[in-house]
Chains A and B, each alone.
Chain A
Amino acid sequence: EIQLVQSGAEVKKPGESLKISCKASGFSFTSYWILWVRQVPGKGLEWMGSIHPEDSDTRYSPSFQGQVTISAAKSITTAYLQWNSLKASDTAMYYCARYNLGDNDLNWFDPWGQGTLVIVSS
């Protein structure tokens, strides 16, 4: 079964660091881009960035460039999303997903991880 399994919910204080994970199974991890999406409670979905685990080529949304770091470990088929100094405004649900590329550059996100809730509060 193709799936992405994310690490559990986190409660952190402002200024703390955090690294959440997304474990892939059931497909060739190094053949697909993996992306991260933020969802603030009750709000919409925002693409944060993507990584290709084969060579760690990484692309960021301008909104998140410099705010987070996306990485991957090929040997354990896991992608990561990391913050060096959390803010209250980072409170959100974070999803990883696989980027699929079809004919004529058509592309879509599937599957999605179950989500990791990050709460940042003093």
Chain B
Amino acid sequence: DIQMTQSPSSLSASVGDRVTITCRASEPIGPFLNWYQQRPGRAPRLLIYAASTLQSGVPSRFSGRTTGTDFTLSITNLQPEDFATYFCQQSSRVPPTFGQGTKLEIK
């Protein structure tokens, strides 16, 4: 199975800050990388697919990039509703696998 490693596992930031979360795959996966947001007590929600394509309805302060095996999710101008846990997921090979999550907390 492809292992997905996220960093950091937790992060503190303030409203208005910019943050970046990184996800690394254990082997090359091309653009087959998705990002999800999970607010407390809620289901995951798709934010970005194919490494950098913003899902319809997701604010433009979210963005995704790739440098090969490393992927980043950036959030600019943090809003209160952005404090949540973020997961990456590789969709290159079965079984699809997720990172362990990054919990974004209010400083």
Contacts and interface: CB of A to CB of B under 8 A. Distances in A.
Among A44, A111, A114, chain B packs the most CB atoms within 10 A around the CB of: A44
B50 interface: yes
Nearest to A114: B43
B45 A112 contact: yes
A107 interface: yes
Interface string A78-99: 0000000000000000010100
Main secondary structure of the interface of A (DSSP, over half): strand
A105 to B, nearest CB: 8
Interface in B79-103: 87, 89, 91, 94-101
Interface of B: 31-32, 34, 36, 42-46, 49-50, 55, 87, 89, 91, 94-101
Which 7 A/B pairs are nearest by Cβ-Cβ distance? A108-B49, A110-B46, A112-B43, A45-B98, A106-B50, A108-B34, A107-B91
Given A45-B44, A107-B32, 16 more contacts: A44-B99, A47-B95, A47-B97, A61-B95, A62-B95, A95-B44, A102-B49, A106-B49, A108-B49, A108-B91, A109-B34, A109-B44, A110-B55, A113-B43, A114-B42, A115-B43
